[in-house]
């Protein structure tokens, strides 16, 4: 996350991170029930459009010192790799303890650990090309993101598809002047337009839900165009380009309406989004599959299920941002491996 100037304490990016981790949790709930319920399909389309991509964008905003460093500061990048491996092991232990028939697979990208692995690879790649003209890097990375889907071997394995698709999003964040962007987004007109955009997207998604859910793999970015049939396979590049345009517009609108002032509890949770992300899914899976609460909360559909999804996300954010849970991720992201300067990388960064 971004460090805040002591004299101009904008909490916009912490507040944005809180919104995104909320969307991630709600999206995981929706994903679990989307095969059976229309409300879950709708939430899936709304949340997956921006949640993960914007996490890459705002992390890119805060990674300028890492990416532009003359020497590779591996000590600030390696913890992402370590966190991915530990999260795989942790989820396996929780699922096995809950009675699930599971086998341990390191870097199994059906798990949420893919995000940390992707950050590790993307940061390394961004550092490797930081001396090259940024326009060339951006252009080539976008072309690779669009063309990669035609290779049916590029999918969820080792998060390769997501790395290729989300690299230009991270890199755009790296290139963006956060202060200038925030200044633009604090204008009243920008906020009004952004609100209209978000409402328009929500309405369009509702009335085109069947079509948008059909192409949901574009939102998860973890599959090749091979899952499309006939002409859709040939049009895969155009579909992904359209998704990236939706991401750019809707994502900018979401960031714009997020306030820059400190919001009690919420800003703090946003600063600890890695902690919440690390802990949430194993326990959320147990809640939905191994307890009767899952059916009580979510299986009745409609507004009740949507409200319950939001409430569960809030409770999980509050619980898993507490200091005992944060201590574990601080340990992971503060591993004593450094190549220059002081080691950082805790959630407060």
Q: Which pLDDT score is estimated for 231?
A: 83
- Both tokens assigned to 178: 């956060």
Q: What is the pLDDT of residue 333?
A: 87
Which helix (H) or strand (E) segment holds residue 252: the answer is helix 236-257
Domain boundaries, the chain: 12-333
Q: Which pLDDT tens digits describe the chain residue by residue (349 residues)?
A: 544 443 335 799 999 999 999 999 999 999 988 888 889 999 999 999 999 999 999 999 999 999 999 999 888 999 999 999 888 888 878 777 766 666 666 665 566 789 999 999 999 999 999 999 999 999 999 999 999 989 888 766 778 899 999 999 999 999 999 999 999 999 999 999 999 999 999 999 999 999 999 888 888 888 888 888 888 888 989 999 999 999 999 999 999 999 999 998 899 999 999 999 999 988 898 888 888 877 777 776 678 888 999 999 999 999 999 999 999 999 988 765 444 433 334 454 4
Helix axes 51-61, 114-128, angle to 10 degrees: 40
47, 27 contact by CB (below 8 A): yes
Structure pTM? Answer: 0.90
pLDDT reported for residue 339: 40
Please tell me the predicted confidence (pLDDT) of residue 345: 41
pLDDT of residue 88: 85
Compute and round to an integer the Cα radius of gyration of the chain. 20
Predicted pLDDT at 346: 41
Which two structure tokens, joined as six digits, stand for 89? 């092991």
| Distance from C-alpha of 321 to C-alpha of 269, rounded to nearest angstrom | 6
pLDDT at site 343: 37
Q: What does the block give as tokens for 234?
A: 């040939």
Q: Alpha helix locations (H) across 70-225?
A: 74-97, 114-128, 134-147, 160-175, 178-185, 188-207, 209-214, 217-220
Predicted pLDDT at 229: 81
Q: Cα–Cα distance between 126 and 258 in angstroms, integer?
A: 28
Quick one: pLDDT at residue 97? 74
């Amino acid at each position: 996350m971004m460090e805040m100037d002591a004299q101009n304490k904008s909490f916009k990016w912490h507040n944005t991170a809180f919104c995104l981790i909320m969307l991630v949790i709600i999206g995981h709930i929706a994903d679990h029930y989307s095969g059976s319920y229309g409300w879950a399909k709708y939430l899936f389309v709304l949340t997956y459009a921006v949640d993960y991509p914007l996490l890459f964008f705002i992390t890119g905003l805060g990674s300028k010192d890492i990416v532009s460093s003359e020497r590779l500061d591996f000590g600030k990048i390696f913890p992402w790799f370590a966190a991915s491996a530990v999260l795989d092991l942790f989820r396996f232990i929780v699922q096995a303890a809950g009675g699930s028939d599971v086998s341990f697979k390191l870097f199994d990208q059906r798990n949420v650990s893919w995000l940390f692995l992707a950050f590790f690879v993307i940061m390394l790649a961004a550092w490797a090309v930081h001396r090259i003209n940024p326009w060339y890097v951006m252009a080539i990375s976008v072309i690779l993101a669009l063309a990669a889907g035609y290779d049916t071997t590029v999918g969820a394995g080792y998060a390769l598809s997501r790395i290729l698709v989300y690299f230009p999003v991270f890199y755009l964040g790296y290139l963006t002047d956060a202060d200038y962007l925030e200044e633009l987004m604090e204008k009243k007109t920008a906020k009004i337009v952004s609100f209209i955009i978000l409402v328009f997207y929500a309405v369009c998604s509702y009335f085109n839900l069947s079509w948008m859910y059909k192409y949901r793999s574009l939102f998860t970015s973890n599959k090749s165009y091979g899952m499309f049939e006939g002409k859709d396979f040939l049009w895969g590049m155009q579909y992904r380009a359209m998704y990236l345009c939706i991401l750019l517009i809707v994502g900018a609108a979401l960031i714009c309406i997020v306030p820059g002032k400190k919001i009690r509890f919420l800003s703090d949770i946003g600063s600890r989004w890695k902690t919440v992300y690390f802990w949430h899914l194993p326990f959320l899976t147990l809640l939905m599959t191994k307890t009767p609460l899952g059916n009580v909360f979510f299986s009745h559909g409609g507004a009740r299920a949507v409200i319950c999804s939001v409430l569960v996300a809030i409770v999980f954010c509050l619980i898993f941002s507490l200091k005992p849970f944060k201590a574990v991720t601080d340990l992971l992201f503060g591993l004593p491996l450094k190549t220059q300067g002081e080691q950082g990388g805790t959630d407060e960064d």
